[in-house]
C-alpha cells in the first residue's frame, strides 16, 4: 500500500537570474512495510526532497499525497497536525532535547498528544530497541548509537504511518550503521511502516527494499543489486 506519494515535484529557490532548480519533476512512492533509501551526494536535493515529503516546505509545483490528500496545499497548522500524527522524523542530530531525560522525551510527545499515547506501547518499543534501561539518562550521557535509537523510538511512539529519516547514520561507525539499518528495516516490516531514509551512506543499501538516486535534482529508481 502506498503511504506517501510525490507527483511531478519541482522546487525552485530564488527568482530571475538567481533562480536555482533543486528538484526537477520528481515522482516517488513509499510503501507500507518497506524501507526506501534515497541516495545522493551533498547538494543533490535529497534534503529538499525529504522536507517536501514531510510537509516542512511546499514544492513550487507538484503534489504530495498522504491518504489521498495533497498536503502541499494544507495550511501550516494542518501540516503541523500531519507531522504530529502521521509522520515520524529521525534527524541527523538525533533531535533530542538535552535537558530532557529519555523518559521525558517521550513524556513530552505524550503531553502534546494530550496523554492519548499508550504506555504499554512505549515500554515494548523501549525493550525492542534495547533502551529500556536508559530511561533516566540524559542525551549527553548516551552514546551516538543509543541517542539514535531513542530518536527512532520517539519517532515511532506516536505510531505514524511514515518514518522520514535524514542521514540517521552520519555519525556512526560501521557496526552501529548495521544496527540502525536493521532496526529501521525491522520497524518497517514489523509495524507496516513506510520508512524513507535519505543518506549518502552506501552502507545502508543492504537494508533497503527500494533504492532511489537523486542527482542534480532528478530522481531515478535503482536496481537493488547495483
Partner 1 sequence: MFLAIKEIRHEKLRYGLIIGMIVLIGYLMFMLMGMMLGLANENTAAIDSWDAKSVVLNKNSNISLSQSLIAKQDLPNLNGHQALVGQTPAVIERAKGATDKQTIQFVGLDSSQFIYQKKMKLSSGHKPHGKNQVVLDEGLKSKGYLLGDQITLNGSTQKYRVVGFAKDAKLNIASIVYGSLTTWQTLKGTGDQFATSGIFSDQKQTVKNKNLKQYSIGTFIDKLPGYAAQNMTFEFMIAFLMVISLIVITVFLYILTMQKIPNYAVLRAQGIPAAYLIGATIGQAVILMVSGTLGALLLMIVSKAAMPSLVPMLINWPLTGILSLALVVLGVAGSLLPVRMISRIDPLDAMR
Does the footprint of partner 1 cover residue 152 (CB under 8 A)?
A: no
Which string of DSSP letters, residue by residue, matches 94-113? Answer: TT--TTS-HHHHHHHHHHHT
Binding window for partner 1 (CB under 8 A); candidates: 84-92, 127-135, 174-182, 204-212:
84-92
Give exposure, 123-140, as e/b (b: 16+ Cβ within 10 Å).
eebbebbebeebbebbbe
Binding window for partner 1 (CB under 8 A); candidates: 15-23, 61-69, 90-98, 185-193:
90-98
| Alpha carbon distance 98, 100 (integer Å) | 6
Among 32, 138, 186, 205, binds partner 1 (CB under 8 A): 138
Tell me the closest approach of the beta carbon of residue 99 to partner 1, in angstroms: 4
CB of 65 within 8 A of CB of 4? yes
Among 18, 42, 98, 225, binds partner 1 (CB under 8 A): 98
Number of Cβ within 10 Å of residue 60's Cβ equals: 15
- Beta carbons within 8 Å of 136's beta carbon, 6+ residues apart: 101, 102, 103
Does the footprint of partner 1 cover residue 21 (CB under 8 A)?
A: no
Does the footprint of partner 1 cover residue 111 (CB under 8 A)?
A: yes
Tell me the closest approach of the beta carbon of residue 174 to partner 1, in angstroms: 25
Tell me the closest approach of the beta carbon of residue 96 to partner 1, in angstroms: 8
Cell of 178: 548495521
Binding site for partner 1 (CB under 8 A): 47, 50-51, 54, 56-57, 77, 80-85, 87-89, 91, 93, 95, 97-100, 104, 107-109, 111-112, 138, 166
Amino acid at each position: 500500500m502506498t503511504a506517501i506519494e510525490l507527483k511531478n515535484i519541482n522546487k525552485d529557490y530564488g527568482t530571475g537570474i538567481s533562480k536555482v532548480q533543486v528538484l526537477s519533476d520528481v515522482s516517488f512512492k513509499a510503501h507500507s512495510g518497506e524501507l526506501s533509501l534515497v541516495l545522493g551526494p551533498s547538494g543533490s536535493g535529497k534534503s529538499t526532497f525529504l522536507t517536501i515529503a514531510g510537509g516542512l516546505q511546499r514544492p513550487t509545483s507538484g503534489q504530495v499525497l498522504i491518504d489521498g490528500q495533497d498536503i502541499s496545499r494544507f495550511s501550516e497548522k494542518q501540516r503541523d497536525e500531519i507531522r504530529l500524527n502521521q509522520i515520524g522524523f529521525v534527524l541527523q542530530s538525533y533531535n533530542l532535547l538535552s535537558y530532557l531525560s529519555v523518559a521525558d522525551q517521550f513524556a513530552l510527545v505524550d503531553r502534546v498528544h494530550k496523554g492519548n499515547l499508550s504506555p504499554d506501547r512505549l515500554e515494548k518499543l523501549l525493550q525492542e530497541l534495547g533502551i529500556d534501561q536508559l530511561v533516566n539518562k540524559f542525551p549527553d550521557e548516551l552514546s551516538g548509537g543509543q541517542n539514535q535509537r531513542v530518536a527512532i523510538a520517539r519517532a515511532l511512539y506516536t505510531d505514524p504511518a511514515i518514518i522520514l529519516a535524514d542521514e540517521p547514520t552520519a555519525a556512526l561507525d560501521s557496526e552501529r550503521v548495521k544496527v540502525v539499518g536493521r532496526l529501521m528495516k525491522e520497524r518497517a516490516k514489523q509495524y507496516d511502516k513506510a520508512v524513507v531514509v535519505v543518506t549518502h551512506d552506501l552502507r545502508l543499501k543492504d537494508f533497503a527494499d527500494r533504492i532511489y538516486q537523486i542527482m542534480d535534482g532528478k530522481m531515478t529508481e535503482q536496481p537493488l543489486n547495483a
